[in-house]
Amino acid sequence: MFSALLHRPGSPLLQDRSDLVDRLAQALPRGAVIGTGHNLSTYERDGSRDVSGDPLAVVLPEATGQVETVMRLASQAGVSVMPRGAGTSRCGGAIPLADSLVVGTSRMRQVLAFDADRGLIRVQAGVTNLAVSTHSLPSGWRYAPDPSSRRTCSIGGNVGSNASGACALRHGRTSDKLRGLTAVRQDGSRLDLGGHCQEPTALDLMGLLCGSEGQLVFVTEVTLALDPMPESAVTLAAHFRNTTAALAFAERVLCSGWTPYRIEYMDAHAIGLTERVAPCGYDTSAQALVLVELQGFDEEVRAGLEQLRGLLPGQADQVGKVRSEASDESPLWHGRESIYRAASASGAFEVLDVNVPLGRLIPTLQRVGELAATRAVPHATVAHLGDGTLHTFLTYDPSDGAARSRVRDCADDIRLACVAEGGSISAEYGVGLSRRHLLEAQYAAADLDQQRRVRHAFVSNDRLNPGKVLSSQVDFVGHVPA
């Protein structure tokens, strides 16, 4: 749908293109501008795989000051800017439209400050999520939000999608860890928020920027709060004959007063899928698996584990033996963490990140099964039971165009079913390019108009990450739809 967006013949943008690229090349360090004649294919796609754009040029600045220059020159030339982190978006969030200048953070990978006494770190936006923890680890700290792409995804991108992962129940999301932020606005002006000695704001603008998907500002530096490494971590794995028993156990855990580091659900399809690729001893005869990890002091997690065992249902509802192991020595998480690889091994897949209120999980899981069956789509679901986020993997043969189409329709059916249950079309990946058409199912027109007006306060036109989330296609400059 988006790959056929064209330059409108005679567009002033086309005429200015080489001029802008020349000016950027003069203003920035050698090699920072990748323009005509170079292979830009890396920057034409992201983790969503199925849409691609055609960037005007790619710029890779190294510092905030250079981003200010890029944004100012692009603004003067009337060219749209597409901020790009590591390109791991699963919803087309990093896909450039045809006239966009892609500004990537891959050369912004410096740790700017690290306060080991207080557990604070300031990094450039291109530093990966995992690298923040790696840098902090020798001092006993870690960065808690752990999206599944943590090895490759960038902190700037994490801010854009307010990233979190399975441990959000205990440690929250990116917005809960953000202590300061530097960003550049579309006109090239710098914005400093939060942190010590900064000008305080009446409104929580920093919180607003979390999850704004690069639609408001270009994030260049962030200050993050770290969490101490736990003394001990144990995991309990219990297999169940049915989903109801599994979720009832999870509810008892959540009401027990123990706050798991993570509590995860896998359905029978997910168990089977992962056991084929990363066998770690899951019981494939079970209908559901619940993995619970507790972290803390030694005696605390040992006592907690015993208490969790006491919350398990009778043997009639369980399959096999309950396993509990120290997390760092246990393969129990290998299967769960291999779900993306397992889904890839079965062909192509689309993965959802929907969310429903916890009390609606059982009917929603039933509905997911019904909707997938209706469209004859193979599926597997894992879920974060602490917050009601479902990752349903819809698999298909990539050579089968009809199957691909069925999967897309099925994915939308499920997202809409979650909205009907009071939930969200996206709990983790964002809206990006590929879910824009569903925003109106979740929000009324007036709600979205207000969001657009807020965006307009930051971006006076549609030239920062155009075509995504709130942007209106009629605003596109230099494009005609396919």
Partner 1 sequence: MTAHDVLPRTQSGRIFAPEREEEAAEWLRAARSRRRRLRLCGGDTRSRPRPEDPVDTLSARRLCGVLRHDPRDRLIVARAGTPLQAVVELLARQGQRLPFEPPDHRQLLRRQGTPTIGAVAAANVTGPRGLDGGEARSHLLAARLLNGRAEAIRCGTATLKDVAGLDLTRLVAGSLGRLGLITEVAFRVEPIPERELTIRVAASAEALLHWSTRARVRGIRLTGGVWVDGTSLRRAGYDECGGSIFLRLEGPPALVVAHRRRLLDLLPAEVEVEECSDLASAAIWARLRDGSFLPTVEGDDVWEWRLEDLAGALDPALPFDEPGLSWQLDLGARRLLCVVGAGQHSDRLTYLASAAPPRCGPALLRGPGTSARARRIPTPRPRSALQALEHAVLASFDPDQLLA
Residues 431-470 that bind partner 1 (CB under 8 A): 431, 435, 439, 442-444, 446-451, 453-458, 469-470
Interface mask toward partner 1 for 261-290; x: CB under 8 A: ------------------------------
What is the C-alpha to C-alpha distance for residues 371 and 413, in angstroms, rounded to an integer?
7
Distances 93 to 205, 214, 352, 405, 433 between C-alpha atoms, Å: 21, 9, 15, 21, 6
Instruction: Please pick, from the candidates 137, 279, 297, 472, the single residue that binds partner 1 as defined by CB under 8 A.
Output: 297
Residue placing its CB nearer to partner 1 in the complex, 29 or 357: 357
Closest approach, Cβ 358 to partner 1, in A, equals 5
Closest approach, Cβ 9 to partner 1, in A, equals 35
Closest approach, Cβ 214 to partner 1, in A, equals 12
Instruction: Please pick, from the candidates 152, 284, 307, 344, the single residue that binds partner 1 as defined by CB under 8 A.
Output: 307
Instruction: Please pick, from the candidates 257, 314, 316, 329, the single residue that binds partner 1 as defined by CB under 8 A.
Output: 257
Instruction: Please pick, from the candidates 274, 426, 434, 465, the single residue that binds partner 1 as defined by CB under 8 A.
Output: 426
Work out whether 138 is an interface residue with partner 1 (CB under 8 A).
no
Give residues with Cβ within 8 angstroms of 116, minimum separation 6.
136, 139, 140, 141
Instruction: Please pick, from the candidates 25, 27, 111, 254, the single residue that binds partner 1 as defined by CB under 8 A.
Output: 254
Work out whether 327 is an interface residue with partner 1 (CB under 8 A).
no
Count the residues of the shown chain that bind partner 1, applying the rule CB under 8 A.
Answer: 93
Residue placing its CB nearer to partner 1 in the complex, 55 or 180: 180
Interface mask toward partner 1 for 84-123; x: CB under 8 A: ---------------------------------xxxx---
Structure tokens of 270?
């997910």
Residue placing its CB nearer to partner 1 in the complex, 321 or 456: 456
Residue placing its CB nearer to partner 1 in the complex, 346 or 424: 424
DSSP-derived 3-state class of residue 434: coil
Structure tokens of 259?
């706050």
Residues shown for the chain:
482
Rule CB under 8 A: which of 358-397 touch partner 1?
Answer: 358-360, 384, 386-389
Closest approach, Cβ 248 to partner 1, in A, equals 10
For residues 128 and 154, the answer to whether their CB atoms sit within 8 Å is: yes
What is the C-alpha to C-alpha distance for residues 218 and 196, in angstroms, rounded to an integer?
21
**Cβ-based burial of 92 (10 A; exposed 0-12, middle 13-18, buried ≥19):** buried
Residue placing its CB nearer to partner 1 in the complex, 221 or 387: 387
Three-state DSSP string of 341-383:
HHHHHCCEEEECCEECCHHHHHHHHHHHHHHHHHCCCCEEEEE
Residue placing its CB nearer to partner 1 in the complex, 44 or 387: 387
Q: Say how many Å lie between the first and final Cα of the chain, rounded.
A: 7
Structure tokens of 194?
């939060």
Distances 71 to 17, 76, 160, 214 between C-alpha atoms, Å: 15, 9, 18, 13
Residue placing its CB nearer to partner 1 in the complex, 133 or 274: 133
Interface mask toward partner 1 for 62-91; x: CB under 8 A: ------------------------------
Nearest alpha carbon to residue 129 among 101, 83, 161? 161
Q: Which residue has the tokens 């990748």?
A: 34
Closest approach, Cβ 469 to partner 1, in A, equals 7
What is the C-alpha to C-alpha distance for residues 308 and 56, in angstroms, rounded to an integer?
56
Q: Which stretch binds partner 1 (CB under 8 A): 95-103, 250-258, 316-324, 325-333?
A: 250-258
Q: Which residue has the tokens 């360090």?
A: 29
Q: Which stretch binds partner 1 (CB under 8 A): 55-63, 76-84, 166-174, 270-278?
A: 166-174
Q: Which stretch binds partner 1 (CB under 8 A): 5-13, 52-60, 99-107, 351-359?
A: 351-359
Closest approach, Cβ 128 to partner 1, in A, equals 20
Work out whether 132 is an interface residue with partner 1 (CB under 8 A).
no
Instruction: Please pick, from the candidates 35, 61, 214, 296, the single residue that binds partner 1 as defined by CB under 8 A.
Output: 296
Give residues with Cβ within 8 angstroms of 482, minimum separation 6.
1, 2, 3, 4, 5, 6
Work out whether 310 is an interface residue with partner 1 (CB under 8 A).
no
Rule CB under 8 A: which of 398-417 touch partner 1?
Answer: none
For residues 162 and 216, the answer to whether their CB atoms sit within 8 Å is: no
Q: What is the DSSP letter of 200?
A: P
Work out whether 346 is an interface residue with partner 1 (CB under 8 A).
no
What is the C-alpha to C-alpha distance for residues 292 and 130, in angstroms, rounded to an integer?
22
Work out whether 30 is an interface residue with partner 1 (CB under 8 A).
no
For residues 372 and 365, the answer to whether their CB atoms sit within 8 Å is: no
Rule CB under 8 A: which of 170-229 touch partner 1?
Answer: 172-173, 175-176, 189, 191-196, 198-205, 207-208, 210-212, 215-216, 228-229
DSSP 381-398: EEEETTTTEEEEEEEE-T
